[in-house]
Chain A
């Protein structure tokens, strides 16, 4: 490419079109500068866009993990109670509540869309209330009284701080 430029410059000079040639060279130089700038810009932007995307994804993974621990935990308890339901005195009532809590938790949305996050909050509140009722019917209140403590221990603080480096 460089040789081509030099060659065309020389040829045009010999054609006796010096002024026109100078203008054209200036134009092509400016075009070239702009082209290089754009190439660099695109590369830089792609790199930082990708880095930001990954940073967001990392943070999203952590936040999703933290927020859905409680859903999994409640499901695990419900699975256990359902499995052992015949061993409890209040088995009939427990069965009813289990059916209800399963219906509540069935449609908890995983996405981060505004409407889905609102729906998540509703589901978690209802499920927390329901799971307390079942736990007391089973006389196993201990399992739910410290849910928040367990989630905090496993999921860490909701605010992601300097620990993020350690984690990833």
Chain B
């Protein structure tokens, strides 16, 4: 940056150190000049609108970037936690189904094939029985299980 002593600087020392002149009046001048940029009330609205949309853009860009980074950084324990929560519940259903199978096989062999087909894993763990958190809210509403539990209780003779 060139500096002409007479034109812009008030002292040599300021120019040598290449600092912004400590000239309060000069700053006021530049503020006055910039006041024209902000203008009167009509102009202000434009500025505010421009500012808003650029802030919205900043928000969009940075929120999106954060979101993408967050997506690929799922908390590590969550998969295992889910497995550990599902496992015992699946186990309880497995025990129920296994018991039904053995009961039907023992008391009414002819029904066994049908029983096996209706209680395969894909039908017992059908998504329709689960809520969005993958829980069975009401086992009474599990039609296929209830059907075979009823058949079993009818098959087992009273002692």
Tell me the A residues contacting B by CB distance below 8 Å. 1-3, 5-6, 10, 13-14, 16, 18-19, 29, 32-34, 36-77, 79-80, 83, 110-113, 143, 150-151, 153-156, 163, 166-168
- Alpha-carbon separation in the docked complex, A77 to B156 (Å): 12
Contact B98 A70 (CB under 8 A): yes
Q: Which residues of A contact B99 (CB under 8 A)?
A: 72-73, 75-76, 79
Supposing A65-B90, A66-B121, A69-B94 touch, asked if A45 and B83 sit within 8 A by C-beta, the answer is no
With A37-B62, A154-B119 already in contact, 9 other A-B pairs whose C-beta atoms are closer than 8 Å: A2-B52, A40-B64, A40-B70, A43-B70, A56-B86, A58-B82, A64-B88, A154-B97, A167-B121
Say whether A42 contacts B70, CB under 8 Å.
yes
Contact A2–B38 (Cβ < 8 Å): no
Chain A hits for B157, CB < 8 A = 83
Residue of chain A at shortest CB distance from B132: A54
Interface size classification for chain B: 35 or more
Does B47 interact with chain A (Cβ within 8 Å)? yes
**For chain B, what secondary structure do more than half of its interface residues adopt (helix, strand, loop), or is it mixed?**
helix
Let me know if B68 and A44 touch, CB within 8 A.
yes
Contact indicator A36/B86 (Cβ below 8 Å)? no
Q: Are A111 and B88 interface neighbours, CB within 8 A? A: yes
Q: Which of B30, B66, B89, B127 touches A41 (beta carbons < 8 Å)?
A: B66
B58 and A72 contact, CB distance less than 8 A: no
With A and B bound together, what is the CA distance between A41 and B66 in angstroms?
4
Cβ–Cβ < 8 Å partners of A61 in chain B: 86-87, 89-90, 93, 125, 134
Q: Which of A46, A74, A76, A163 has the most CB of B within 10 A?
A: A76
Given contacts A79-B99, A156-B120, contact A48 B71 (CB under 8 A): yes
Contact A51 B101 (CB under 8 A): no
B151 to chain A, nearest CB (A): 13
B48 interface residue (CB < 8 Å to A): yes
CA distance A155 to B66 in the complex (A): 41
A112 contacts across to B, CB distance below 8 A: 83-84, 87-88
A97 to B100, CA, bound (A): 22
Bound state CA distance, A139 and B31, in angstroms?
Answer: 104
Chain B residue at minimum C-beta to C-beta distance from A84: B106
Tell me the chain B residues, 107-159 only, with Cβ under 8 Å from chain A. Answer: 107, 116, 119-122, 124-127, 133-134, 156-157, 159
Q: Write the residues of chain B forming the contact surface with A, with a CB cutoff of 8 angstroms.
A: 20, 24, 27-28, 30-31, 34-35, 38, 44, 47-48, 51-52, 55-56, 58-59, 62-75, 78-103, 105-107, 116, 119-122, 124-127, 133-134, 156-157, 159
Q: A13-B34, A80-B106, A156-B121 are in contact. Are A40 and B65 (CB under 8 A)?
A: yes
Name the CB-closest residue of A to B92.
A110
From B30, B83, B91, B105, contact of A65 by CB (8 A): B91
A36 touches B97 (CB 8 A): no
Partner of B116, one of A34, A58, A59, A153: A153
A65 touches B74 (CB 8 A): no
Bound form: Cα–Cα A37–B64 in Å? 7
User: Which of B65, B69, B82, B101 has a CB less than 8 Å from the CB of A60?
Assistant: B82
